[in-house]
């Protein structure tokens, strides 16, 4: 694992519009697909942080470098951030993630390098805390319409109790077809 962290740390980002140092971290995450729309009127979901995200996957460079994406994140107050991210999968639960905020010019330059085999993902994210854990509830509106719930954990064996207001859900952590990148590609494949 240290070798992967070193690989990502040593990668020359080539991002002249970076607005600070890149952050590299280990991400332990579980994911569920919901059977339908959750109870958005529930008190926990009425007062959450909500952002709109446009996520573009970039054409994968040769040489085994990790897949990268660039996001435009629009907050409820109208504030806009642009973030470049690269992830390397270590297992279905664990990834190494490298992220840096970029300026708008760099964001648009990066979007010109979009992977033609993947659609742009449009989603609305609601972030909230339940049972001491931070959840992200994503409503993907394009290229597919579905609800995904994710939680980042401190370790692989941490217990997770799903909030009852999300309704019926099926865990898809081990199903590669339920990553955002796979959903973007599956849509284009028909």
| pLDDT single digits (tens) 37-73 | 999 999 999 889 899 999 999 998 766 667 899 999 9
Omega before 140 cis (within 30°)?
no
CA–CA distances in Å: residue 147 to residues 55, 142, 143, 160: 16, 11, 12, 18
pTM for this structure?
A: 0.86
Nearest-CA neighbor of 128 among 81, 165, 100? 165
pLDDT tens for 161-179 read 999 999 999 999 999 889 8
> Domain 2-189 is classified in which CATH homologous superfamily?
Hypothetical Protein Pfu-838710-001 (2.40.320.10)
Tally of residues, the chain: 190
Residue 62 has φ and ψ, to the nearest 5°, of: -75, 170
How many CA atoms are closer than 13 Å to the CA of 99, on its beta-carbon side?
A: 12
How many Å apart are CA 136 and CA 87, to the nearest integer? 18
């Amino acid at each position: 694992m240290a070798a992967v962290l070193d690989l990502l740390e040593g990668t020359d980002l080539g991002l002249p519009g970076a607005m600070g140092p890149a952050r590299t971290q280990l991400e332990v995450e579980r994911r569920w697909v919901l059977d339908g729309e959750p109870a958005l009127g529930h008190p926990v979901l009425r007062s959450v942080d909500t952002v709109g995200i446009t996520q573009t996957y970039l054409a994968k460079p040769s040489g085994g470098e990790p897949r990268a994406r660039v996001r435009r994140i629009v907050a409820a107050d109208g504030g806009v951030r642009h973030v470049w991210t690269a992830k390397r999968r270590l297992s279905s639960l664990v990834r190494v993630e490298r992220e840096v905020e970029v300026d708008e010019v760099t964001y648009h330059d990066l979007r010109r390098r979009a992977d033609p085999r993947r659609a742009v993902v449009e989603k609305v994210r609601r972030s909230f805390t339940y049972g001491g854990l931070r959840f992200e509830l994503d409503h993907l509106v394009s290229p597919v319409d579905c609800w995904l719930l994710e939680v980042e954990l401190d370790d692989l064996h941490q217990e997770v109790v799903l909030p009852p207001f999300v309704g019926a859900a099926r865990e898809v952590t081990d199903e590669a077809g339920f990553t955002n990148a796979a959903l973007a590609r599956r849509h284009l494949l028909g």
